[in-house]
Amino acid sequence: MKETLIRSTIDSANAAKEIGLANNKIIVSCKVSDVQDLIEVYTSLSKRCSYPLHLGLTEAGIGSKGIVSSAVSMGYLLQHGIGDTIRISLTPEPEESRTKEVIVAQELLQTMGIRSFSPLVISCPGCGRTTSTYFQELAGEIQGHLRKAMPDWKKKYNNVEDMTVAVMGCVVNGPGEAREADLGIAAGNKRGHLFVKGRNVAVVPESEMVEALIDWATYIHEHGVDAAVARVDTALAEREATKDRNMLLKEHGDDVNHADEKIVEIRKKVAGN
Ligand code: SF4
């Protein structure tokens, strides 16, 4: 079956060329619905013809299943240099917009470092250190704001899509864990700690977190990281941040995830006790 598909695809492209279609007008697609089949079919096509390849896993499914199977199959192929254009096909949830397919495709390319489209929001999973669920809403809200700002930013600033923004669930470890991000915010004690390249630059009330982050992102695009850091008293921000960190450490202790107890449990299990 797969061999028939591959042969038919190549024969059809060759036939189109023979009847006059220019080589640069031909893009070959041979979509299937199984992950392993897709990898096999496109790997074979890439060896047997030189046409540009359009990748797509058809009938990928709904929700996380569709996203995972599309990302894993096309991610594998792209990583091996196979594929020139992609399409993500997802069954939309009721009332869900079709733009999700485009967003997933863009995120696949961006997270693989192939092409950037919009500042990427990285966010931590949250753990025993998280004091409220607000950072979960915050991550989605900030991504939405950044996407909305993109058409305007793209006209004004160079490489704006390469910015990395972190949204972290606690102020104790957040800025350190996300120190590689250009800009980030960590939530805790009903306040947001803004940081640039891991350095605390401001502490703002929860209600101002989104606005403050967008303001900082805009300023960084306009003036650069160094100028953004120089415009504030970082010592004051660090003092405020330390206050919150110390308070949370005092309230919740060093081992909020009960790692020590878990290690003892695991050791007991491994030893068969
Ligand atoms: S940043 Fe804080 S809340 Fe997020 S995973 Fe790390 S320790 Fe947990």
Segment holding 219, helix H or strand E: helix 209-223
Check residue 268 and give its pLDDT.
86
Q: Please determine, for residue 251, whether its predicted confidence score (pLDDT) is greater than 90.
A: no
Beta bridge partners of 187: 192
How many other β-carbons are positioned within 10 Å of the β-carbon of residue 40?
15
> Which of 121, 122, 138, 168 to mutate for ligand 1's pocket (most ligand atoms within 8 Å of CB)?
168
Q: Average pLDDT in the 48-77 region? A: 95
- Which one of 136, 177, 257 would you pick to mutate in the ligand 1 pocket, going by the greatest count of ligand atoms within 8 A of its CB? 177
CA angle 31, 33, 35 (to 5 degrees): 100
Cα 115 to Cα 108: distance, rounded to the nearest angstrom? 9
Q: What integer is the mean pLDDT of 62-82? A: 96
Confidence of residue 273 (pLDDT cuts 50, 70, 90): low
Task: Find out whether the beta carbon of 126 lies less than 6 Å from any atom of ligand 1.
Answer: yes
CB 193 within 8 A of CB 244: yes
Q: Is the pLDDT of residue 50 over 90?
A: yes
The model's pTM is 0.82
| Ligand 1 within 6 A of CB of 188 | no
245 lines ligand 1 (CB under 6 A): no
d(CA 105, CA 86): 7
Per-residue pLDDT, averaged over 38-50, amounts to 96
For the chain, percent of residues with pLDDT exceeding 90: 63
8 Å CB contact between 143 and 184: no
198 lines ligand 1 (CB under 6 A): no
Atom of ligand 1 nearest to the CA of 174: 1
What single-letter DSSP state applies at residue 88? E
164 lines ligand 1 (CB under 6 A): no
Mutate which of 123, 124, 180 for ligand 1? The one with the most ligand atoms within 8 Å of its CB, which is 124
Given a cut of 90, whether residue 26 has pLDDT beyond it is yes
| Ligand 1 atom at shortest distance from the alpha carbon of 169 | 3
Q: Which is more confidently placed, 32 or 272? A: 32
Rounded average pLDDT over 28-49: 96
Q: With 90 as the cut, is the pLDDT of residue 84 above it?
A: yes
193 Cβ closer than 6 Å to some ligand 1 atom = no
More confident residue, 3 or 257: 3
The yes-or-no verdict on residue 162 having pLDDT over 80 is: yes
Token pair for residue 176?
Answer: 């350190």
- C-alpha to C-alpha distance for 110 and 149, rounded to whole angstroms: 18
Cβ proximity of 195 and 177 under 8 Å: no
Please give the distance, rounded to the nearest whole angstrom, from the Cα atom of residue 102 to the centre of ligand 1.
30
User: How big is the CA angle at 14 (ends 10 and 20), to the nearest 5 degrees?
Assistant: 150
List Cβ neighbours of 206 (8 Å cut-off, separation of 6 or more).
134, 187, 190, 191, 192
Average pLDDT over residues 178-206: 90
Least confident piece of the model among 25-29, 172-176, 261-265: 261-265
Q: Is 124 in the pocket of ligand 1 (CB under 6 A)?
A: yes
Nearest protein Cα to ligand 1, atom 2: 170
- Gap between the Cα atoms of 42 and 2, Å rounded: 10
